[in-house]
Structure 1
Amino acid sequence: MEIIHLTMTELEAGLDIIRQSPKNDGVLEMIVRRPSTDERELLDEGELDTAVGLVGDNWKTRGSRHMPDGSANPDAQLTLMNSRAANLVAQSRDRWALAGDQLYVDFDLSEENIPPGTQLQIGEAIIEVTAQPHTGCKKFVARFGMDAVKFVNSPQGKELHLRGINTKVVQGGTISVGDAIIKI
């Protein structure tokens, strides 16, 4: 199946569906572990840990070019993307994981709904929204098109956190696809 990247007009037409995401009680739709660069494993169940994030993911070992010593950024331990936004830019569920996030949630990730410091419970785990911005990169452009990056990084896209949010694990535990995601 050939994928054609959506235009800005086509992307903006999907905003109403994204805005209908649950504000309080959402659902964990997909868990993606990234054992190495450009490798993805879909999980039915995962373990969140305060030291390593999603167990088996390469977040800690990969590090961050944004940290002075190249270590992993503790404020970008775990990334969440709205599943409706992922579906819009990816055009099919089997391409969501290409966005590079670990958790895809049917939940309103907007700044207004969950500002930095907000804690969310998913399964047995609790995560906290951080202020670290999450923006589209060159890989996102290659996979979903330049208009998709402009869309998620537009003022409206940033307000709604269409590219997703960064979080950190504050209480480890098991999470499963289908778990509720709840503001606490």
Structure 2
Amino acid sequence: MTQVSQTELQEKLAYFGQSPTDVGVIKQIVRRPAVDQRETITEGVLTLEEGLVGDSWRARGNRKTPDGSALLDAQLTLMNARVIEVIAGHQDQWPLAGDQFFVDFDLSEERLPAGTVLKIGDALIEVTAEPHLGCRKFSDRFGKDATLFVNSTPGKALRARGVNAKVIRGGEVRVNDSISVYSEG
């Protein structure tokens, strides 16, 4: 895989900023049945207890919790499809990022502050304050420049690495389903 430079990513900021703000679309769904395993699926189920059913979120736990249990505020991760498209290239490489949902939707902090409720397929999820940043694995897979970009000031504002969320109402989700800010009424 060819690694993209910070300069190339900076030049794509306008493209990333063209992501839909009202109604976006799910481009890819990925389950992680075990550490470093990926399963691309066309439909799935979200539950309050498991997040994406069949994903190892709960079993993996989290080093940030006192007892090592799963961190609810990182139950799901969503990444902008335009960003991963530029970073990883072909859609077959997107699952390496480790996110469950790749969406063509504006995930910026300005647009979706923590607490924002999103309708994704038939489910409702809430954006959490838990930061989602590029880590060693991300750097190993996509390069130092990609990691520096997603962790930069403009990258963080854009949430180029993605956003953490938790399920607040379960439901079915499918590739090509819509994603939007939920408003009752």
Shared fold by TM > 0.5? yes
Match status 1:16 vs 2:36: no
**2:71 is matched with which residue: 70, 73, 88?**
73
Rounded to whole Å, the distance in 1 between the matches of 2:77 and 2:85 is 16
1:78-89 equivalence runs, <5 A: 78-89=76-87
Unaligned runs of 5+ in 1: none
Deviations along 1:128-158, one digit per CA (max 9) or x if unpaired, are 0000000111110011000000000000000
Rounded to whole Å, the distance in 2 between the matches of 1:6 and 1:182 is 30
In structure 2, what is the equivalent of residue 114 of structure 1? 112
What is the CA RMSD across the aligned residues, in angstroms?
0.6
In structure 2, what is the equivalent of residue 50 of structure 1? 48
SS in 2 for 1:149: helix
SS in 2 for 1:69: coil
In structure 2, what is the equivalent of residue 169 of structure 1? 167
Moved segments of 4+, more than 4 Å: none
Rounded to whole Å, the distance in 2 between the matches of 1:81 and 1:134 is 10
In structure 2, what is the equivalent of residue 38 of structure 1? 36
Unaligned runs of 5+ in 2: none
Rounded to whole Å, the distance in 2 between the matches of 1:114 and 1:5 is 29
TM-score (norm 1): 0.97
Q: CA deviation at 1:124?
A: 1.0
Q: CA deviation at 1:79?
A: 0.3
**2:154 is matched with which residue: 149, 153, 156?**
156
Deviations along 1:38-78, one digit per CA (max 9) or x if unpaired, are 11001110000001100000000000011111000000000
Deviations along 1:71-96, one digit per CA (max 9) or x if unpaired, are 00000000000000111111221111
In structure 1, what is the equivalent of residue 2 of structure 2? 4
In structure 2, what is the equivalent of residue 127 of structure 1? 125
Rounded to whole Å, the distance in 2 between the matches of 1:178 and 1:7 is 30
Q: CA deviation at 1:4?
A: 2.0
